[in-house]
Every structure is written in C-alpha cells, then in structure tokens.
Structure 1
Amino acid sequence: MQTSKKITLALMLSFFASAATLSHADETDAKKQPAKHVLLISVDGMHQADLDWFVTAYPQSTLARMVREGASYTNARTPFPSDSFPGMVGQLTGGNPKTTGIYYDDAYSRGLLPAGTTSCAGAKPGAEVYYAEVSAKDMNRLDSGQQIPGLYSDFTKISQLTGHAQDLLDPKTLPVDPKTCLPVYPHQYLQVNTIFEVAKQHHLRTAWSDKHAAYDILNGPSGKGIDDLFAPEINSSVTDPSAPAGPGDDWTKDNTNTQKYDAFKVKAVVNWAKGLDHAGNNSLGVPAIFGMNFQAVSTAQKLNKSNYYIDPENPSTIMTNGLGGYTLNGAVPGPVLQSALTFVDGQLKAMVSALDLSKTVVVLSAKHGQSPQNRAALTIIHDGDMIDALNCAWENNSAGCKDPAQTHLVAHAIDDDGILMWLTDRSVKATRFAKKFLLAYSGNGIGSDAFGNSTPKPFTQAGVTRIYAGEEAEDLFGARRGDERVPDVVGIAQQGVVWAGGKLSKIAEHGGNAHQDRHVPIVVWGAGIAHQSNDDHVETTQIAPTILSLLALDPKELRAVQIERTKALPDLH
C-alpha cells in the first residue's frame, strides 16, 4: 500500500508539472509579439466626430485606411482634467491624476517651494508648478535657448536641436524641493513610471517629439526613459526674437505656422522610422516605441480667424482670415480646421510610408478634445475679474484685495474650460465660501456671431453647472485625503463656457469635463491587428498597457497599471 501511495503521488506530481508546463506554453503563445515597433500619434483636439467626418468625406485618405483596416474604439475618453499633461501622461503610464500626480501642466503643489527659492530653511511650502514654455532657457526661441546659429534664416536647422530636452530647461524657473533645496525637473514630479522606462529596462530604443522641453516629464522618474526627445518650442516667436522689433507671434497664432511647426516633428518621426536619430544621422535602429503630437487641429479649433492652406500638400496658395472651428452648429469642420485635418492626414501618409508595416503597429488618439464645437454656444468669462472678486469678497474688499503681491485666498487657479483652484486656506469654511461665492457670481461675458465678431453674452453661476469643494474635490478625482496636489475647488463648465481675458481671443478650449473635451478616437492599426469597430467605453489610459502588450512586455511593470488595474484595450487581435 505504501508503494502504491508513492506511485500515485508521483503520478500526481507529474500531472501538475505537465499542466504547469502547458499553462506556461499557453501563456507564452498568448504573449506572442505582434509587433517590434509601436508608433504613437496624438492629434491634439481631435474628437471622434472629427475622425468620423473626415473618413466619410475622404474615403481614400490614410486616416480612412487606418479605420477601415484597423481596430477603432469609438467610445474612448481622456482623463479629467482634459489637459495636455494629464492626457499624454495617462497614455504613457496607464494612470489618472490621482495616481500620476499630474493634474495640469500649470498646477500647484503644497509640498514644494516657489521657483527661484535659494534659502529653504523655514520656508513655507506652496508653489505653482508650471511645466510649459516658461520652463525653457529662452521661451522666445524655437530651440528654447540652445542658440542654433542661423536658425531664424533656415528653420531646417532645428534638426540640430538636442535630443536631451532636460538641457533646454532653466532650473531657475522650476519649483524647489524643500528637503534638498534643489529644482524639481518635470520627470522628477511624475509619481509613476512610463512605458518608455519599461522599454529601456528591456534594452529597447525609444524616441518622442512634443511641443515643450518640459515634456521631459515623459522620461519618467528615472529621467532616462527616452533616448531621443525632440521638443521644438511651439510658443516661441516665429520671427527672430533678437531683431529690433523683439519677439513676434508664436506658432499657434496662425494655423499655417502651426502646420509648419508640426512638420518639423514629422520629419523627426520619419527619420526614426528609418532607424536614424531625429536629425537623420547615425544608424541606431528603429525605436521600439516612438511618436509625436500634432498641434494643427487644436489651434484650428481654437482660433477665431486664421490664414489657411487650400491644399496643405501644395502650400503655395494661402487663404486669409478664414473662420476657425466648425460650421453648421458645430457639425462640420470649417475651412481652417478642414485644412488642418487634411494636413495631418498627409503627414500620417508620409510617416506610414517610412514604416515597415509588417513589424509596426500605429496607435492614434488625442491628449484631449476641445469645447465648444458650436460657436454659438461660446461664452468667454474674464477669469482674472472672477478671481479678484472672490479674493475681495473673502477679504471684505480690503485695500490690497487685488494686489498680486499680497497673499490671497486663491493661491493659484487655472481656468480654461474648467475651474481648478488651489486655496491658501483649506478649511471647510474657506472652501464652502469659495463654492457659495462662485455659484452666486454673474455678469457679462463675450460670445461670437457667425462671422467671428464679438457679441455680449450674460452668464450666471460663474459659468458652471456644479462646484466641488474641499473633500468633494478630492472625491471627484478619487484622491486620498490631504493630497498635496489636488485642487481645492473644481468647477464643471456650462456648455460653451471658456474662461479667458476680456476679448474674443479664442473660440474653444480644453481642460474641462465636457463630452467634447474628452470623447476622442483610439485607432490601432498595423502588424497583426484585425479590423473591428468597438463601442465599449474605454479610456485613453488603456493605451499604455496595450502598447506594452503589443511588444510582448508585461503591462504590470507600470506602477499605475498596478494601482488602478488598468487593462489593455479589449478584443485586440
């Protein structure tokens, strides 16, 4: 009997070992690498509706081909707030602001000291964290202060820009860590790792192109996630800033210039696709993960009027003073936006032509959408006046209530098409006061007629449908109690409301929670991807684990994926 038991036990152990081997084999089969390279493209501002319209209008386009042959997720949403930083960081980490710590590109931290602080002993924390053009050594130059000789007489020389964007940042513009009294670089501010860092851990090459050197944040906490980060400054002067007239308009103020700017980055992507560096030198091999963002669609949606190309592929004919945004109550892109969409499609064709599609998957999405699409819905509210009025009410209209040098209730605010406020007093009394004040705040704003002329537009409730204050704001984001980065007051905009200055400076914005802010496309196309159209609700944060899965890497190597249990996009075959 004892011998029989030993034989039975041996058979059982053998069975389980075989089962484990089969299980591992099945798992290995399931993780077969469908791609060696993933190209990620963000068309900032693009709505799912924009993609649908373009594919219908241009069935032979590259975008139409991607939709026709690839997997489309037509019910995707960006993180809230729908800003560039949380949107892009979400795509590359798998996390929302509560996890990444990134609530906006212009935010506030109660754990850091203001930029320029040199004496940290005893200093009270609380600082604006603004990682954008202001972080550059010279925000007026396309090269962020690298001082490339002859750049403003020959813009092709922008290819000489360093691929180590951190070198272009001015430490004096960065918030300061009170523990070390050292500046906090964007990559150090991110609380979780990125897909670029995971790729680097597996000895894979990475590359990215974006609009500010502050996109160093995408390097992740290690600071070493991206081998080649090409970041020409979009908010720099189009003309030579050293000329007697000084800096001129930046690249976003005219859509033809935005298209020229985007083309610099497309050239870098084409060079990467050929296995070169962004300048077209050095045979380094095609990156495992690479890509860029487009700005042309975003500025075409925001500009009241702009010059535009009739045919972006033949930019010899420029039309002047075209209306930005949409026509027919927001249903059809206007002439400037149509030009921008056509431009993006043509540039995608150039990138795709350089790819080996048997080894490459292309993922197309957007950091954010834009609202409103219907010009008639626009109401611009002067945010500076609103914040001054709140501070004055809290201080009982003291003599210094509008003095920017004084300490006020509002420590920092960013109000594009959503209100985010950080207060100096986080008490229940203060947050309730701010909420009550804003819900009672009314006045006259600015709208637009169908021809792009400014019109008066009254507003109530500070232009919001709802205010979240104090713990309500923390709960809205799912943040832990006492999160030092979460806003104290969050306002959800009424449809069409934009907070800006006192003139018709723009007709749409992002950063809020509107459907038009957050409903963007996700298209996955290329090697091994079967056609499907999926209308399940998905999040753009699911792009990160999807990219790693496509490369046969483990998504759980992403900290945010572990924390939020972010899944790869469903049914992707």
Structure 2
Amino acid sequence: MRTTSKSALFFAAAALVAAAAAPAGAADLGAHAHRDRHVLLISIDGLHAGDLATWTAEHPGSALAQLARRGTTYTNARSSEPSDSFPGIVALTTGGSPKTTGVYYDDSYDRTLSPAGSGCKTVGTEVVFDESVDRDATKLDAGGGIDPAKLPLDPRKGCTPVYPHSFLRTNTVFEVARSAGLTTAWADKHPAYDLLNGPSGRGVEDAFDPEIAATDGTVPGTIAYDALKVAGVRNQIDGRDHTGRKAQRVPAVFGLNFQAVSVAQKTAGYAAKGAFSPELGSALAATDAAIGGLTAELKAKGLDRRTEIVLSAKHGQSPVDRSERKIVDKKLLDSVVNGVRPGLLAQGTADDVALLWLTDGGQAQAVAAALRAHAAELNIDKVLVGPALLKQFGNPAKDARTPDVIVLPKPGTIYAKPTATKLAEHGGFTADDTHVALLVAGPGRDGERVTSRVETTQVAPTILQFLGLNPRALDAVRLEGTRVLPDAR
C-alpha cells in the first residue's frame, strides 16, 4: 500500500492543462467522451472517514474492504459547509459550494421569490425542497411527484413555480454527460432531487426518487427502502431503466444514496468511544451487502474493468460521542433574534447549525451581538457575520440566498424541540459533520491512501475526467477553480 501525504500532488497535470485551454461549450463536450466507460457514484449518507476505516478493518472480507484494496482512499475528505443533504449532493455533482450554486439547505430562503399560493403579492420566502412539496408524502411515489402548487414562485418569470432544478445556479455532471450524448441516471430520497437535473431540467435521464418519508423511519424499514433503489441500479447495470421494463444503455454516470446508516446514527447512535451500536452495525452490514451485490453485477456483465466506483457521503453526523449531545430549544434562537426587533427573523433553519435570514440585513451585527450575549444558553461556539461570512459565502446584501448570520454551536449541540429524541444531526461545520468517507475504486488501483485534505467538490470534475469529458464544462469548476482529485487517473 502506498500512502500519499504531500500537500502538492500532481493533479493529472497534462489533462488539466488541456482542460484549461479548451472551451467549455456544448460542442466540445463529447469530442473525446469514452463511451465505453462508466462511473457509479454512491453516497452512504452519514458515513464518516473513521466509520469506513473501522468497518474495513473489522470486516476484511466485506465489499467495502474489497473496494478499498483496489482503490484510493482519501482519509482527509471534507463535505460541504453547511453539511446538509442538498449542498452535500450538489458539491459531489457540480464541483461547487453554496456561494456559487446558491443551494444552502433543503430548507432555505430567497429574497427575490414569493411564497407558494401568494400570487407574487409578497417577495421573500422560505424555500423548502423536501417531502413537503410532494403531492402525497405518505406514498412511495409521492402521489405522483412534486405538486407545483406547493412550490415558491418567481415574480420575474410570470409568477411561475420554481422547481428544484431551476433553483440550482450551476450545471451538473449529469447535464455535461447528456450534452455529450451519454446516458445518465440517479436514485435518491425525495422527488425534490429533481435538483440534479440542473438548470436545463434534463440532466438525469432515468431518475428514481422514492419518498423516504413514506417509510416507517426504522432501521429495518430504511434498509428495505434502500433495497428498492439498489434494485433500480441493478436494472441499469443490466441495460434497462430502473423499472427493468425498458431497454437503455448502461449509464455513463449513475448511482444512488443509502439512508440506513444515517437513520441508525440518529435513532440509535454510536456505542461507547464511537464503536458501532448493534443498529448501526446492522445498517452498515446491509449497505455493504447491497454494494457487494452491485459490484458483483458489474463483474457479471463484464463492466468491472470499465467502471470507476466513487463512494462518499453527502454529510457526516454529529455527535459521534453521544456524551457530547445537547439539545437546545430552537425557539430560544428565534426569540433572541426577534428580541433585537420584533419580526426581524425572516427564516431560521436550524439543526446542528443555524442559518438566519433577516427582514433587515442592516441588523446583522446587532443580531450577532445578541447571540453572543446568549452564547452560554445557546451553546454557541462561533457566529459568522460581516467579513467572516462574506469571505466564504458572499455578500447577503447582493446575493438573495446568502444568510445574514450563521451560528456554529459547540460540537454535539442540536437545535430542536426540548423533547427531541434524535441522537445525532447534520448540517454543521464540525469534523463529525464534514469529515466524510471518500473512496475511488477501479481498474489499475491497488489500495492507495491519500492523507492530504481534499473536498467532495473535487468528485465532480474527477467524474468528467474519468469519462473523457472536460472538467471545465462544469460552471462551478470554472468559477471556483475546483481541481480533480489527486491520484485520479
């Protein structure tokens, strides 16, 4: 096993030089596409780098251990900040951060949009893209998908509904691949993952997004739910669409997310010193077995020598050490903000982070001061406002989606109802939230490790490089200068 720890590694220099010089127009995208290659992207939501290391060490015969032996493991990978599912999957598939993509959370705010059903008589609204926009969230098919009557409205476009894909400001790997004439597919947990279609609305040719809110919320129930998506991906490997009824080419870029690990972390947590609880062990075992089934199917179809498997996580989960868990009443946050001035809080999104949008952005410093004055009650570690916020996220006075204030609590803090029973949450910036697993396995790899820090945004340009496409065809890659992963080839 070779370990790479140099801070400056060769990032496939020749390919990057060529990419930098090449135009990113659609006509160029397919010129060198490898039509016989595939990338299977897998997100095990909640999976930390430490979880992957522990699991593979304790289960050397497991599917994940086998992938690690023929792959490159990035031991110091970081997910998006905030570490919510939406910016997490957007990072993996666009190469960009919320500052560029405009996606901060699945529950956020836009100062230029109008509430659903308002007729655009007011401007400024909460934007929620989860099961709440389904026609019927109690059904696996969401009752037929997204209900446009529940979507925010855009007064600048005739007061028309804003679908998730048009909310995203930058294109996705799926769009680039389709522009090159390649087949694409993805499976996720809500119909709102229409987001990944990107601004064109056409990125994912074969989408399968059964509604997770229709399950019973238990670990066994979630394992069964994950199995539905696994079956869909297996059908795609076999040259059919996810239903198995229609013939199609094996997708060039496709994949799914697993939810069982995340549910186990929230409902059962970890045992002492971060060891796997029985429930979390069960979730990992089922996920591992499912991945083993997919890799076996790739081999059976002769695709294993032409497929790169990229395994990561949209986010981690905090806390791993359950003794750090502390529930803080979210209403206290709201009251502190509105205590500066009644009605000042336009939108507060809180999990183990708090994103605050104000009706008057000029009061941001006053709000920050009030929050710091209540730091002990709110278990606050840091408040991002002014220059500290602008540096990472841009100017809320100029960007309709940038929060005015971001609250980073101490590790283990969860803003929720005082009666909340969940043992972990995600969304924050701590290591437990963001230090995620990242493994790339494929032909010609031999159990390498990269210990220098990388970001999950680097996955997107790496996927395009694997497919022979120009990484700079991604808007966010050009805007943020996102590089391919070191040792990717």
Fold conserved between structures, TM > 0.5: yes
CA distance 1:326–1:34, change in 2 (3 Å):
farther
TM-aligned CA deviation for residue 35 of structure 1: 6.2
Aligned mate of 1:564, from 456, 464, 480: 480
Aligned amino acid, residue 349 of structure 2: I
Counterpart in 1 of 2:285? Answer: 342
Deviations 1:231-286 (A, max 9, x none): 110012x4xxxxxxxxxxxx43x111111111111110111111111111222120
CA distance 1:479–1:344, change in 2 (3 Å):
farther
Distance 1:343 1:173 in 2: 35
Aligned mate of 2:239, from 275, 282, 296: 275
Aligned amino acid, residue 340 of structure 1: A
Counterpart in 1 of 2:415? Answer: 499
Aligned amino acid, residue 255 of structure 1: V
TM-aligned CA deviation for residue 471 of structure 1: 4.6
Aligned mate of 2:368, from 404, 427, 435: 435
Counterpart in 1 of 2:9? Answer: none
Distance 1:170 1:414 in 2: 23
CA distance 1:88–1:417, change in 2 (3 Å):
same
Aligned mate of 1:263, from 227, 250, 253: 227
3-state secondary structure, aligned to 2:141: coil
Distance 1:563 1:74 in 2: 26
3-state secondary structure, aligned to 1:502: coil
CA distance 1:32–1:169, change in 2 (3 Å):
closer
Counterpart in 2 of 1:172? Answer: 149
Aligned mate of 2:163, from 164, 180, 185: 185
Alignment of 1:385-534 (within 5 A): 385-391=332-338, 393-395=339-341, 408-427=343-362, 430-441=363-374, 460-478=376-394, 482-534=398-450
Distance 1:212 1:138 in 2: 11
Counterpart in 2 of 1:98? Answer: 99
Aligned amino acid, residue 441 of structure 1: H
TM-aligned CA deviation for residue 472 of structure 1: 3.5
Alignment of 1:31-180 (within 5 A): 33=34, 36-118=37-119, 120=120, 123-146=121-144, 168-179=145-156, 180=158
Alignment of 1:348-363 (within 5 A): 348-355=291-298, 356-363=303-310
Structure whose CA Rg is larger? 1
TM-aligned CA deviation for residue 461 of structure 1: 4.9
Deviations 1:474-499 (A, max 9, x none): 32324575211011110111011010
TM-aligned CA deviation for residue 219 of structure 1: 0.2
CA distance 1:62–1:366, change in 2 (3 Å):
same
3-state secondary structure, aligned to 1:272: helix
Contact 2:336 2:370 in 1 (8 A): no
Aligned amino acid, residue 355 of structure 2: L
3-state secondary structure, aligned to 1:342: helix
Contact 1:468 1:476 in 2 (8 A): no
TM-aligned CA deviation for residue 470 of structure 1: 4.1
Contact 1:369 1:520 in 2 (8 A): yes
Moved over 3 A (4+): 31-35, 478-481, 528-531
TM-aligned CA deviation for residue 521 of structure 1: 1.4
Contact 2:165 2:201 in 1 (8 A): yes
Residue 549 in structure 1 maps to residue 465 in structure 2:
yes
Distance 1:358 1:329 in 2: 39
Distance 1:175 1:504 in 2: 29
Distance 1:567 1:362 in 2: 19
TM-aligned CA deviation for residue 61 of structure 1: 0.4
Counterpart in 1 of 2:27? Answer: none
3-state secondary structure, aligned to 1:89: helix
Aligned amino acid, residue 505 of structure 1: T
Aligned mate of 2:193, from 179, 196, 215: 215
Aligned amino acid, residue 344 of structure 1: T
Deviations 1:288-312 (A, max 9, x none): 0100000000010011xxxxxxxxx
Identity %: 44
TM normalised by structure 1 equals 0.77
CA distance 1:34–1:222, change in 2 (3 Å):
closer
Contact 1:542 1:568 in 2 (8 A): yes
3-state secondary structure, aligned to 1:326: coil
TM-aligned CA deviation for residue 390 of structure 1: 3.2
Distance 2:129 2:108 in 1: 9
3-state secondary structure, aligned to 1:490: strand
3-state secondary structure, aligned to 1:467: strand
Aligned amino acid, residue 71 of structure 1: T
Which deviates more, 476-485 or 345-354?
476-485
CA distance 1:115–1:83, change in 2 (3 Å):
same
CA distance 1:347–1:556, change in 2 (3 Å):
same
Contact 2:411 2:430 in 1 (8 A): yes
Contact 1:440 1:461 in 2 (8 A): no
Distance 1:480 1:420 in 2: 12
TM normalised by structure 2 equals 0.90
CA distance 1:292–1:32, change in 2 (3 Å):
closer
CA distance 1:488–1:126, change in 2 (3 Å):
same
Counterpart in 1 of 2:7? Answer: none
Distance 1:34 1:564 in 2: 28
Contact 1:211 1:231 in 2 (8 A): yes
TM-aligned CA deviation for residue 528 of structure 1: 3.8
Aligned mate of 2:318, from 336, 346, 371: 371
Higher RCO (CA-CA < 8 Å; seq separation 6+): 2
TM-aligned CA deviation for residue 224 of structure 1: 0.4
Alignment of 1:6-25 (within 5 A): none
Aligned amino acid, residue 327 of structure 1: A
3-state secondary structure, aligned to 1:542: helix
Which deviates more, 210-219 or 501-510?
501-510
Deviations 1:443-471 (A, max 9, x none): xxxxxxxxxxxxxxxxx151111111245
Distance 2:380 2:36 in 1: 45
Contact 2:153 2:160 in 1 (8 A): yes
Q: How many residues align?
A: 457
Distance 1:279 1:124 in 2: 42
Contact 1:76 1:521 in 2 (8 A): yes
Instruction: Indicate the RMSD between aligned Cα atoms, in angstroms.
Output: 1.9
Distance 2:469 2:96 in 1: 18
Distance 2:35 2:393 in 1: 35
Distance 2:67 2:393 in 1: 34
3-state secondary structure, aligned to 1:269: helix
